[in-house]
Amino acid sequence: MNKLIEKPHVIFLLAIPIIMLIGILSGDAVLDIHAYDTYYVIAYMHFAILISILFGIIGIGYWIMQKADRKLSKWLNWTHIGLTFGGTLVLWILTKLYRTEIMEYEFNNNLTLIITLIILLMMVGQIIFPINIIYGMIKKKTSG
């Protein structure tokens, strides 16, 4: 686990082929987001491409910081990786609990609220990445 924190770019770059494979295997499936009177429809393949580009940027950013011999905060690395991948795992589990056959509105509304809060927490967690990069640029180079 320590190697993961020392080289966080590895987990982000290794996740890209997995995400693309999920996007390809999902076929014509779409993600429907309903916000008030508007529906946003995104194909899983397009969503997978977007997430892969984001993970590529993050992975390259972490890799550049390592090659530039800059020390990043382990706490910020843990937080960023945990919110990104842990949040994704929790979201996947929660979406499997969503009840469509028996419309229990209170249960589904509460579940929707929890899912929305986790997504917001994951989005706020992505702000940790540039903060960590700035921290690494300001901090002195690692001794070695």
Q: Quick: pLDDT tens for 68-91.
A: 988 888 899 999 999 999 999 998
Structural element, H or E, at residue 30: strand 30-35
CA angle 29/119/128 to nearest 5° reads 125
Q: Quick: pLDDT tens for 36-63.
A: 788 888 888 999 999 999 999 999 999 9
Predicted model pTM: 0.81
